[in-house]
Structure 1
């Protein structure tokens, strides 16, 4: 069902694929800065691949690189999308491909920059599994499908009534597909149910066959890719992102969030998905801002627009601190801490995803370490250890006879053997509170994790010698 793309830049067999550079890595590692610095040595044009930076607005919160720091380097898909639009991976791919074509036509080097790895995977892969849901014939009548006795609209309406019901329904319809996704991934669950409702085809059947086998594999990528990962040690990144959140607060992050605040906002769509929006909702719901509104109403004559414009001229965080309301201060400090915690979690998810792309799909990702440059805040260290290393990688990649003429190695830089792809099997770790892991790679990573090993050790001690063992179904 998932078919090969016919979009522009789809390479033909036997033809050279266009060369693109992909700079990825966890948030805070220095990806955007590196892309701009590389433009001093190569004719670079940047395509943003950050799922929140594509939206206009919240420039402080999403940490968009300011125009003053872009140094005249063209940046595409940066702050160009309406914040109310759902900009999916498929939309990103379809938007980015013509831009890459135009950059190549100018004999410039396309550099994809961002930490949203599913955007990057959708762009460089010739196959996008989930697009089959959009490509299915919506006119298909369920009454024409054997065994389906309800109408399309009533089925979907019923399935939307309860998230728990949705997942149970998917398990009944297609347990294989249900095992592939997390029970809390409500959007994906609804997509799978909708796919079955419209077509009568099991989702797990859609994502099988030649397309699924080829999806994401290096020898079937749309482009000849040079993957560079700017990375740093977790302790250094943790400290850096925490400091960055504090700087964002001083720069007016709370004002940005307040300006788009809506009591009935949908935090699962558009720009409001960004870390740093939902976390402040309890604060923005308090009587403190209601009182601010009343005071501003007295000063301005009362319109909501005037209220928001007046507040945005000053730093709302400083105003709240001077207001000295204990409840609001507690809520604000809790929100700031949640933003920091969720950002640290994002860093770990991004690192896991990059490992997954390397281990499961064979992406030859060249890691450049920015740990020392972040710790020392030294421009010289940044240039010597990050920029120069990246220049050598790109130079070799662009060279016809260079050692990187093909980035489609089936092993990573450490020579580690690629783990056989196992994306469907669900593993449950009993020792870690029935935590669900998907795929052999994620399961193996979890087993080797410090937290899991500590729990197993603790359980062994409590059991007074009973043998605890791990199986494919879970850790006991």
Structure 2
């Protein structure tokens, strides 16, 4: 059976429910902990794309963990996933917060936990996606051990080699510019130069301060130089952010000992069009889906009911068991 057929049958089974199988009604599985999937990676590596792919395999809803995309506004500059790209998958904490009020790690922990409870409450899988690893750390390694006591989590890391990623980041900033980035940024220019709170911390806002401050007082040549300087600073600072994000992932993986599954998407970024899409599916989307399937259906948090005489749902131990469970 192909992976696509396996997943198609797998997602027809509710994550937590009574289901008929071979004429018998299986007991409700007793879940000690709920399951949560995290999609991590540096900026521009394809995290949002992977989260949508996973949501098409499993009944899911997505929680944004990008600390800038949480704010309303600057959709181009912050590279928010569009409504069309969301493909009808519910998104939480995406463009929902006042851009002038700081959204802290504590705020994220509170709001994301509430979203997780809401999502799992109607049988869906929460997928948390974003590049702000400090938010994820604050959620998972909270002082009260609240998250780990209530949830099991699976971490997927979309990685791209540094030279390839840097070239793509520069290309993406150019695309933002061509898509109307300047007009989007202009209302967020602050004459006092305070870019320390809310959405004004976004890469692009402080970098364009000199341009907006001087554009009305300089000639066209100088204006062009200021514009080129601002765009170049955006590219450099986005690259610095990517390196910082990778450093944080390394810390979580090798110091805090998080179990993180790395997916190398580098070959995808060397291709274009249909070939890139096919490569993404083969080396990122499908392997990720299998990792999540094993996490959900081969997890130690699923236990048999001991209070009923009906047939119990056994914990699958292998991929073949997963397929058998999916087709019963």
Return the TM-score normalized by structure 1: 0.54
Per the alignment, residue 281 of structure 1 pairs with: 209
Structure 2 residue 285 is the aligned partner of structure 1 residue 397: no
Q: 42, 50, 56: which is aligned to 2:66?
A: 50
Per the alignment, residue 35 of structure 1 pairs with: 51
User: Which is greater in Rg?
Assistant: 1
What's the offset of the Cα at 1:265? 4.1
Per the alignment, residue 173 of structure 2 pairs with: 245
How many residues of Structure 1 are paired with residues of Structure 2 in the alignment?
269
Structure 2 residue 185 is the aligned partner of structure 1 residue 257: yes
Whether the 8 Å CA contact 1:124–1:222 is kept in 2: the answer is no
2:299 and 2:247 mapped to 1: Cα distance?
Answer: 33
What's the offset of the Cα at 1:290? 5.7
Structure 1, residues 25-69: CA drift from partner, whole Å, max 9, x if none? Answer: 000100000111111110010000000000000000000000011
| Structure 2 SS opposite 1:289 | coil
Per the alignment, residue 225 of structure 2 pairs with: 330
* Structure 2: 5+ residue stretches without partners: 1-30, 303-328
2:195 and 2:94 mapped to 1: Cα distance?
Answer: 21
- Pair 1:351–1:42, CA change in 2 (3 A): same
Whether the 8 Å CA contact 1:369–1:386 is kept in 2: the answer is yes
What's the offset of the Cα at 1:374? 1.7
Per the alignment, residue 387 of structure 1 pairs with: 285
Structure 2 residue 34 is the aligned partner of structure 1 residue 18: yes
What's the offset of the Cα at 1:90? 0.3
> Where in structure 2 are the equivalents of 1:294-373 lying within 5 Å?
325-373=220-268
- Pair 1:401–1:123, CA change in 2 (3 A): closer
What's the offset of the Cα at 1:115? 0.4
Per the alignment, residue 81 of structure 2 pairs with: 65
1:334 and 1:22 mapped to 2: Cα distance?
Answer: 36
1:272 and 1:249 mapped to 2: Cα distance?
Answer: 18
Per the alignment, residue 92 of structure 2 pairs with: 76
| Structure 1 SS opposite 2:155 | strand
Per the alignment, residue 140 of structure 2 pairs with: 124
- Pair 1:247–1:16, CA change in 2 (3 A): same
Whether the 8 Å CA contact 1:126–1:222 is kept in 2: the answer is no
> Where in structure 2 are the equivalents of 1:202-241 lying within 5 Å?
220=148, 222-241=150-169
Per the alignment, residue 87 of structure 1 pairs with: 103
- Pair 1:362–1:72, CA change in 2 (3 A): same
- Pair 1:26–1:401, CA change in 2 (3 A): closer
What's the offset of the Cα at 1:400? 3.2
Per the alignment, residue 100 of structure 1 pairs with: 116
Per the alignment, residue 154 of structure 1 pairs with: none
1:389 and 1:334 mapped to 2: Cα distance?
Answer: 41
Structure 1, residues 439-474: CA drift from partner, whole Å, max 9, x if none? Answer: xxxxxxxxxxxxxxxxxxxxxxxxxxxxxxxxxxxx
* Bigger RCO of structures 1 and 2 (CA < 8 A, at least 6 apart): 2
1:289 and 1:26 mapped to 2: Cα distance?
Answer: 37
* Structure 1: 5+ residue stretches without partners: 1-14, 128-210, 292-323, 406-476
Whether the 8 Å CA contact 1:229–1:365 is kept in 2: the answer is yes
1:95 and 1:383 mapped to 2: Cα distance?
Answer: 32
Per the alignment, residue 471 of structure 1 pairs with: none
Structure 1, residues 293-324: CA drift from partner, whole Å, max 9, x if none? Answer: xxxxxxxxxxxxxxxxxxxxxxxxxxxxxxx7
Structure 1, residues 186-211: CA drift from partner, whole Å, max 9, x if none? Answer: xxxxxxxxxxxxxxxxxxxxxxxxx7
| Structure 2 SS opposite 1:350 | helix
Per the alignment, residue 130 of structure 2 pairs with: 114
